[in-house]
Structure 1
């Protein structure tokens, strides 16, 4: 009898062991699969059971959370949603997250281990600390100046602080209100369908994700390559360039929009935006030299994050001489994001050093205790300090007595470069108006801001489109706002 009891006890122990093994299998090995199963609603319920942390501009939240009273309890809200949409992105219970909402999701949702001194306790208790905050580098006055300046026209503005890489403004127009996508149901699905079907593409972040031919603004890169390589030793020396200029190996003549470009110097070519001179200089620098110069400024780099990913700006690495001539003036296959061209202007303003742009100044716990901080990070040197100083002088001439007079600010030193970029089949598309610039306050030790503006402006008459008339006034307003509201040092 005792033997049977013993065997029964063994069998029960075996069943208990099997039960424990199965529980471990479900809880450990299959937990990820169960959590990702679309039929499992518990992760979503848990995710939205608490208020989400905020995204801050100038220390003030531009986001919030609303108790919907539904199963997915808290919905995201946005203050001045269209103004900050290219920065915040959206946080939707239906469509997920984008931009800072995605890049800093673990901080905002309260799941980042850095939010607690005892992360293991929250792991074991299946709880989480309150969502943390993400403080941006954006300055409200600069952002508003850029948004107001575009006035609903298709285009974008990027402004950075040259000495640190902080992004001071990031605007894409037309924009949208991320609040429309926050919840669930037919209203959100209808808004998503409408926004994605809109031919103006309001959800496209043109400042980070759209690439345009940069036109004559790229001549700053070509000029830097020429000076650093020694192809041009004297910026005031005649270049013996005919007007128009025959593209090498072809019968195609490259014209100028400006007059007086025949035999112009490189200084005059930058000041009056002579295509012929800068195209010839690009050919003289050569393919290898131009590719390397563009790379130093950030072109052909697909790994730029701010912390959201940035589209790769392109400068072809295999071209014929005639294609190189066009690429040297920002045409052919040369394309750039507005942020990339702001980096070009910032490199000139910063003595030739290129800084990695960044949008998140710091992340904090709910009580304000710091979790991580964004810091100055160099990407290398785009040009020598002497070349940067010479280009600063040339860009100042553009604004003081050249094609960019509309960017001038009384009492400040402003350097700039205009651009009118052709595009489309046979250049039939409405040209893009560009302006890149930097500004330094009177008696300030270094420039405070570098700006890039692109205006697609499909409603304008083709003959009226120029960087000076369409883009330079916007850049001036952005620079004025930046000079009037200095960055608070940490």
Structure 2
């Protein structure tokens, strides 16, 4: 009898050892494989067991969470979803995350190590730290002014604070409601199919994810390069420019949309946007100097994050003289995002210095304690301060006497540059209407805002589409929203 008991005990001990070995195999050796297995929903269920942290604009949340009572318990909600979609992106149980919802996902979901004072305790208890909040730099008045200014027209607006690089507005139209994608049911799937099939691409953030030929707004960069290089010494001296201008090495003649461009001064050419003058200036300045100036403004930079990725704006450096002439007036292969062109205007307003743009002011824990702040931003020089001073005068002239009169704001100092960019096969597409500008309040020591507006489908006769008539009023509304006390 004793022997049978001993054998049974030994057998039980062997079973216990086998069980422990198997547990060790599952928990240690194969833990990562099980964790990554698509059939394992524990992390997903845990992720949605608690409300997600919020994205804030001017101290107010523009996001929230709804308790569905299901396994994936909390679903993302949005306040003024289409208005802020180019900032927030979406957080979907089915399709993942984009924009700030993506780059700040760790903090918003509570998974970021910085949020957990005792991470080992969380591992032991299988608990999750409450999600933190993301405080943005967006000015709600400027955001709404940009959105309502575009109305139903395709286009984008970017506005920044020149002295800091803070992004004050980031708007893309047409937009969409991110709440449609939040869940994992039929409604979300139908919305996903519909939005992706829409030829107007409402989920594309045109302000930072699409590049356009900047047209005549790029003449600010060309003027800066020519002035810094000494190609132009006096903005009021004739430039010896023909009208029309035959592109070097070709028989193609470049013309102007305005009169009086032959041998015009730089001031006159800037105010009336003379293509011939700036094409010739670009060729005289040369590829190397044009490249250096364009890149100092931010062109050809593939690493811009705000914190989500910004499509690189490009200035082609492998060009002949004829192509350089066209590149210098914002055509050929020159491409820019609205955010990049807002930074061009900000560099002029900021005395020639470019401050890297940013969208997140700070991040906080659920209780309000600060996790991180934007801190000081890198600064680089785009042009000599004296050149920036001259360009401010030229841009003021555009608003005061030239093609940008519709951007004028009583009691404020406003500078701007219009642009009408051709595109499509044989320039057959509806021209893009551009306007870039900056504004300084009457009692302010420096400019408070720089804006770039692009309108893709201006509702007007092709010959009547212009940056001054179509885009400038939108820029003015944004600038007024920022300048208002």
TM-score (normalised: structure 1): 0.95
Q: Separation in 1 of the partners of 2:451 and 2:7?
A: 82
SS in 2 for 1:134: strand
Are 2:484 and 1:484 equivalent residues in the alignment? Answer: yes
Q: Separation in 2 of the partners of 1:302 and 1:389?
A: 29
Q: Separation in 2 of the partners of 1:7 and 1:380?
A: 81
Structure 1 equivalent of residue 475 of structure 2? 475
How far is the alpha carbon of 1:30 from its aligned partner?
3.0
Q: Separation in 2 of the partners of 1:18 and 1:363?
A: 48
Q: Separation in 1 of the partners of 2:296 and 2:69?
A: 53
SS in 2 for 1:237: coil
In structure 1, the gaps of 5 or more residues are 486-490
Structure 1 equivalent of residue 89 of structure 2? 89
Structure 2 equivalent of residue 333 of structure 1? 333
Q: How does 1:71-110 map to 2 (within 5 A)?
A: 71-110=71-110
Q: How does 1:8-407 map to 2 (within 5 A)?
A: 19-20=19-20, 22-407=22-407
How far is the alpha carbon of 1:22 from its aligned partner?
4.3
Whether the 8 Å CA contact 2:458–2:465 is kept in 1: the answer is no
Whether the 8 Å CA contact 2:433–2:456 is kept in 1: the answer is yes
SS in 2 for 1:376: coil
Whether the 8 Å CA contact 1:404–1:472 is kept in 2: the answer is yes
Cα deviation per residue 1:195-249 (whole Å; 9 max; x = unaligned)? 1111111111000101000000000001111111111111111111000100000
Whether the 8 Å CA contact 2:159–2:342 is kept in 1: the answer is yes
For the aligned residue pairs, the C-alpha RMSD in angstroms reads: 2.0
Q: For the structure 1 residues 70 and 8, does the alpha-carbon distance in structure 2 shift closer, same or farther, using more than 3 Å as the test?
A: closer
Q: For the structure 1 residues 5 and 293, does the alpha-carbon distance in structure 2 shift closer, same or farther, using more than 3 Å as the test?
A: farther
**Deviating more after overlay: 253-262 vs 456-465:** 456-465
How far is the alpha carbon of 1:146 from its aligned partner?
0.4
Structure 1 equivalent of residue 428 of structure 2? 428
Whether the 8 Å CA contact 1:355–1:376 is kept in 2: the answer is no
How far is the alpha carbon of 1:123 from its aligned partner?
2.6
Q: Separation in 1 of the partners of 2:412 and 2:111?
A: 46
Q: For the structure 1 residues 392 and 7, does the alpha-carbon distance in structure 2 shift closer, same or farther, using more than 3 Å as the test?
A: farther
SS in 2 for 1:124: helix
Q: Separation in 2 of the partners of 1:454 and 1:341?
A: 10
Moved over 4 A (4+): 2-22
Whether the 8 Å CA contact 2:76–2:182 is kept in 1: the answer is yes
Q: Separation in 2 of the partners of 1:6 and 1:393?
A: 100
Q: For the structure 1 residues 251 and 372, does the alpha-carbon distance in structure 2 shift closer, same or farther, using more than 3 Å as the test?
A: same
Q: Separation in 1 of the partners of 2:292 and 2:25?
A: 55
SS in 2 for 1:315: coil
Cα deviation per residue 1:396-423 (whole Å; 9 max; x = unaligned)? 1110111100000000000100000000
Cα deviation per residue 1:414-450 (whole Å; 9 max; x = unaligned)? 0100000000011110000000000000121110000
How far is the alpha carbon of 1:15 from its aligned partner?
7.1
SS in 1 for 2:159: strand
Structure 1 equivalent of residue 437 of structure 2? 437
Q: Separation in 1 of the partners of 2:30 and 2:349?
A: 55
